Chains A and B, each alone.
Chain A
Amino acid sequence: SSCEHKLNFKKSKEVCLSYIQDAMLQKQWKRAAEFLTFYVESLEKDFSRQDVNPSEMIWRIGAEILWHHSHGSVKEFNSFIEQMKILSVKRYLKVCLEHVFHLLCHGLIDEAYQTLSLAESWRFGEQTAVQDKEIKLIQAYRGLLDYYSWSKKKNILLEYGECQDGFDDLSVEQEMHSCFRKAAVNLKEIIKVPGVWDLFVKCYVDLLEFYGAHNEARQVLNEYAYNSKFPANPNAHVYLYEFLKRHGESKKSLISALKILHDIVPSHELMIDFNTMLQKSKKRKNRRLGLEVIFAALDYAGWKENVKAWSCLARQVKQIVISEKHLDWIKQEWNSRKDWWPAFHFSRYLAKRNWQKNESLSYEKALVAGILLGKECKYFKYVSHQGCKAQMKRFRVLKKFVNKHSLVYLRISG
């Protein structure tokens, strides 16, 4: 019978938890809070301790209820969290971290900084792997906040430095440097560990650049982008490219940085820049790559209505057609696309819609369609007809151009 009693107790606890869940999922926070008090009571009476850490459950549910129900009263939330920190010793760092996040989202940056400093000095028993990760994150966030105060001080200095009216910039400068040291130490640590650290890397590089440590900054960015233990994060390559661009690196290194980005994310928005850069290049290989890049970008659904990309393609295709050199480049690109681009880009429905919504888009697309598919293509026919009807000069020119080069289409598809 005692077993049954235990079973019943467990069951009623589960029921209570499901009531809490239901109330929370229906946004009845007050009701959930009431149930939670019962639940806490039942946890107190429960000596079986089979469940996973009940204090964590109380922390999670309680925090969620307070977010929504205390009408943004941070004080109430703080006192709750302080209790939770005492209650759940093993999850102390996690609770602290979440507390910091809450404070940061409410704009209480100083309080968050204090909490982080406190959490950092906490020690309990043997450190587990999870705790190790958490403590590193805590340090990183502290570094981040140090960085923000550094940049604030930097701005003050820059502002008052221009005025030069007895402003005591020495102490501010000292403070700024101490902020820099604190931030740099912590940020440097976290970005060694594999992960997505966009925020921290950006800040760290900014610090290094300000103090002129360009080589170190470059090293950090290279590591972040090319270390195979890190995930293939497009941003890592973007930051590196931007850094190189900022420091006036050679075209070649810029191109090679973007080439790698192109290989992992052909649909990245920097591909337009890449294409423009390649088109301007004198090397044939690069111009060829440029065509490839723009064709590849336009394969993606997200680029379907991107006027810039279409005008890039139209320009390059027009150049090739006029010069009559390298038609085989187009042919090669077109070969793997000719069975689905017409339906994907150049259907009659799209012609109608593009014409209605974005005239210049339909102009660029019609040019490409006219060259790739010939003047009988539905898209070209519809758009040029509408354009001529609307008495627009550029559409008449377009029609003439396509008619003049109507044989190109046969050479491409043949």
Chain B
Amino acid sequence: MEFPAALFPSYFSAGPPREEGGPPPAVGWGEHGQVMEAGPCHRQGETAFVPRRGGLGESWEPADAAAVPLLPPNASCWISPLVPQDILHSSVLRRKLRTGKSTATLDFAKQLGHFFVDHPEDAFGSLGQLLHQNFYLGNSKLRRQARHSTIRLTALMEEIDQLEARRGCPQRYIIPRLRWFSHLCRDWLFEVPLGLLADCVHEELLQQWAGLLFDDSPTGGALTWLPPEDKGACTGRLVYPGGQAMNSLYFQDVVLEDLPHARGSPVQFELNGRIRQVASAWVDGEDFIGVRSDYHCGVWRVPGRMGSAPTPLQVIRTDVPASCLTVSPHLPGELAVCTQSGAVYLWSVETGLCRLRRDPQTMFFRDHSSWRWSDFTAHPRVLSCADRTGLQCLDARAPERCHFDLFKVGEEAGCRQGERVVLPMYLGRAHPSQHLVTTQFSVYILDERLPMVPVLKWTHMMKAPPLFAHLTPGGPGRSHKVLLGTSRTQELLLLQYQGKRWGFRGGSQSACQLVGPPQKLHSIAGCLQHLPVQLPHHHRLLQQRLSLPAAGLAAVLQEDGPRETLMVFQLSEVGDIFCQRLTHEAAQPPSPTKGDEATQPTPSLAVPSPAAALRYRRWLKALSKACRAHPQNPWPPTFSQKRLFTPRELETPAGPSALHQQARQQLRQAMREGGRIQRWDTPAPQRPPLPQPLEPAGGLESLSARLTATWSGDWSQWWEERSSFNMAQRQRALRERRRRQKQARGRRSLSASFTSSLTYQSELSELSDTVPPPPPPLSPTALPQEASGSLSPMPDEALLSSQSLRCRGIPKERRKTLRDYLSVCAEGPPEPPEPPGSQSGQACIPLSQGPSLSQASSASRPRRKRPRMGF
């Protein structure tokens, strides 16, 4: 294969990565990267340039509104997903959410407790049997004869129950009796020594937690498509795991018609463990399928002819869980196996296993992960070996001597600190010497002939690391399609890249370019909104089922004249398979991706086709039926709503009612104007008659008076009355206070009087500058005019401080009064001036008194500088 005559320019430097932290958001957009001249024909005029990213790609439009179930649900498998709450300390979790810190504490005691409760036989079996006659749990008193061989444990039980009831209480104390009992029997009561058991539980917890953070066991994916030998045929075979524990391997014939559907019943093999990965390759007219579970790997062969039965060829067992299994695309019956102990094997069905390497350490720098991966390269005897730090190529004939570095997390490839290899894949079907490497941040395309320098790099911006990848090679002049899939978030991303340019005789090799915009495909969870409406708890369960992590990805290109369809299959962790289609009109030359709202329906409006809707209904029916059949499944019992309502009542109206439409119209109008909806109901006619306002009784409580006023609509008037009333009241109270201050002043020290003068000053400020009464707080029915600046609710501190007072323009004569007052104050007890409020005879704001609404703004806050005089 030709090497491109020129590559895109790039800097090269060696060493550890320099850039820190994750990539900034949106970093994958808006960049061409580099450009180079498009062809060697620049003598005819202007030179044409092509970009490394952002060239014109093919336009693939989704044909479905959402992913459609391909097969009936694998209802026998219902794993409720592990959530952090299950294994973490709840209080810690809460605190963590509050502070944003990421230290997790595992709730070890709870898990151990669960074990004792769930498996009492395993935990205390023999001693329980021995002792059960000597422990009495009843309420009545023990008889005298029994007393010397039996103890009554009722009180202990009660205390345990109490302890449970006090869970979460901060003042938990240890009950002496319990303490005594546990001290006494800790050493002999347990079937398994407690220390050992605790170790095991802890280890398992740690493992579960690590898996929750990032589970790499499904890497590679457990779904694969076996294409028919004859390209035109539209029947292929899907290989996937299923069954109760995902331990059955199915070979299902699938017909790729408009909407792909299964034909006949699948061939099934029951295996010895949960299937983690299914890989396949087509060699010499036969399909070889490798299946990996934790401790077993197997290989099957399917002859190319349609309908021929798959035959199992060989199984190997590993002591350490296997982390990788790939099938050679070059030689029949050859596979590469890696285990978590760091060993890499070349496995040939004929000659058996051959170990190429065994190194528990990672290759380029130290990383704790024991994940290893291996894949094939352009040379059938050279294998690529990967760990989290990079890729190396080994010659299987002399693995110690002959190897070279293909990719390294480092400055060579422009990596970031903390970046790790997630999935390498050999792209032999697109180009014999190209490899794909995904990390949690970026996706790289490498060429074996130019190691260490990626020929293409793009920051994929996916929310989780892509664990699955699929390549659909494109012919000459066409782009290669790469699908990336994540597990936990079910994301699917379609990328296109091109390595060949248009030209005579199939075109010549050119440097790799990423073409067209990346495209997001539907996830399984996205079809929830198109499923028939469910009761809330069913809906929740359904949601849970649909949003389980993905476990595999496969795709197939179906050509039908000028029209091409890319069928994408996605497998969930519990074995449900969904598919979606993307269509491309090949007749038109690759046009600029118009991809606009005008050409495609917005997804919110798109409705599944009738065929898809039927699929959804059938799938749901099968799921609920299967759930009813298995009582252990958590589908709770329900009453049929048909018993509660007559069919007529249940009838849904044909369209939205008039009221609905009106409301919607109002909503739209309000949004357009940027205002708010003042009244939901229509203006006059529907308004309910106001109840007759109650006659205000003599000592009517102010709150009820206000409510009454509000109800009758003249609330603002009430407010005004109220505020003037309040003002009078307050003035009275102030006068009273001054009088008492006068009386008390004789007994005061100088310093105290100084403070008091200060507080007095602030008190003055309360009264001095308030000119008109405030407008009533905004009424809910009428939009008020904008309150004028000086009256807007101010923090009370600001109101009280003398500075703000000055700023807001206190009349000069009053400032003078103040100064006089202060100077007198420093010398000795002065004659108190008349309260300025009363002098001016103006209204003041009752900031802290009265049950008015302003309480909400001021009363809730503690008053600084509360006047101390008079106390």
Instruction: Spell out A's residues near B (CB within 8 Å).
Output: 17, 20-22, 24-31, 51-53, 56-57, 59-64, 67-69, 71-72, 98, 101-102, 104-105, 107, 109, 133, 137, 140, 148, 151, 155, 190, 193-200, 202, 229-235, 238, 264-265, 267-269, 299-303, 336, 340, 343-344, 347, 349-350
Contact = CB atoms under 8 A, between A and B. Distances in A.
Interface in B694-724: none
Contact of A68 (B8, B27, B593, B597): B593
Given A104-B35, A195-B12, A343-B331, A63 B29 contact: yes
A235 B51 contact: no
Nearest to B449: A265
A31 B596 CA distance: 9
A318 to B, nearest CB: 25
Contact of B461 (A21, A27, A336): A21
Contacts, number: 199
A301 B29 contact: no
Contact of B596 (A24, A30, A301): A30
Contact of A27 (B34, B397, B433, B595): B595
Task: Give 9 closest A-B pairs by Cβ, nearest first.
Answer: A27-B595, A60-B30, A63-B30, A25-B520, A302-B1, A302-B432, A52-B24, A101-B32, A198-B6
B30 A148 contact: no
18 contacts: A22-B520, A26-B519, A57-B25, A61-B29, A63-B29, A63-B31, A64-B517, A98-B32, A195-B12, A230-B12, A233-B450, A235-B3, A267-B433, A269-B1, A301-B380, A301-B428, A343-B284, A349-B284
A21 B518 CA distance: 11
Interface string B436-455: 00000000000001111100
A151 B46 CA distance: 11
B1 A21 contact: no
Interface stretch (B36-44, B77-85, B270-278, B806-814): B36-44
A148 B24 contact: no
B774 interface: no
B2 interface: yes
A133 B11 contact: yes
Contacts of B370: none
Interface in B595-643: 595-597, 600, 602-603
Given A57-B26, A107-B46, A195-B12, 4 more contacts: A27-B595, A71-B592, A98-B30, A199-B36
Contact of A105 (B2, B10, B35, B284): B35
B379 A194 contact: no
A107 B602 CA distance: 34
A68 B26 CA distance: 16
Interface in B23-80: 24-37, 42-43, 46-51, 54-55
Contacts of B284: 343, 347, 349-350
B46 A109 contact: yes
B318 interface: no
A309 to B, nearest CB: 11
Contact of B285 (A64, A155, A349): A349
B378 interface: yes
A340 B397 CA distance: 11
Contacts of A98: 30-32
Contacts of B451: 231-232
Contacts of B518: 25
B330 interface: yes
Contact of B3 (A52, A269, A299, A301): A269
B26 A61 contact: yes
A155 B43 contact: yes
Main secondary structure of the interface of A (DSSP, over half): helix
B5 A105 contact: no
Interface in B310-352: 329-332
A199 B453 CA distance: 16
Contacts of A52: 24-25
B21 to A, nearest CB: 9
Contact of B7 (A25, A235, A350): A235
Interface string B190-208: 0000000000000000000
A193 B10 CA distance: 10
A196 B9 contact: yes
A62 B30 contact: yes
Nearest to B428: A301
Contact of A268 (B3, B55, B331, B596): B3
B29 A64 contact: yes
A64 B30 contact: yes
B661 interface: no
Contacts of A53: 24
Contacts of A202: 6
Contacts of B431: 302
B381 interface: yes
Contacts of B378: 267, 300-302
Contacts of A303: 1
Nearest to B38: A105
A71 B592 CA distance: 9
Contacts of B330: 301, 344
B361 interface: no
Contact of B450 (A72, A231, A300): A231
A98 B379 CA distance: 38
A200 B10 CA distance: 11
Interface string B557-599: 0000000000000000000000000000000000011011100
Contact of B602 (A28, A29, A67): A28
Given A64-B29, A68-B595, A101-B34, A231 B453 contact: yes
Most buried by A among B14, B24, B49: B49
A299 B51 CA distance: 34
Interface string B411-430: 01000000000000000100
Contact of A299 (B50, B381, B602): B381
A137 B26 contact: no
Contacts of A64: 29-30, 517
A28 B603 CA distance: 10
A199 B6 CA distance: 6
Most buried by A among B8, B13, B432, B449: B449
Most buried by B among A17, A64, A69, A202: A64
A109 B47 contact: yes
Contacts of A299: 379-381
Contacts of B363: none
A229 B14 CA distance: 8
A67 B47 CA distance: 21
Contact of B381 (A27, A104, A265, A340): A340
A179 B602 CA distance: 52
Nearest to A337: B381
Contact of B9 (A29, A30, A68, A200): A200
A215 to B, nearest CB: 24
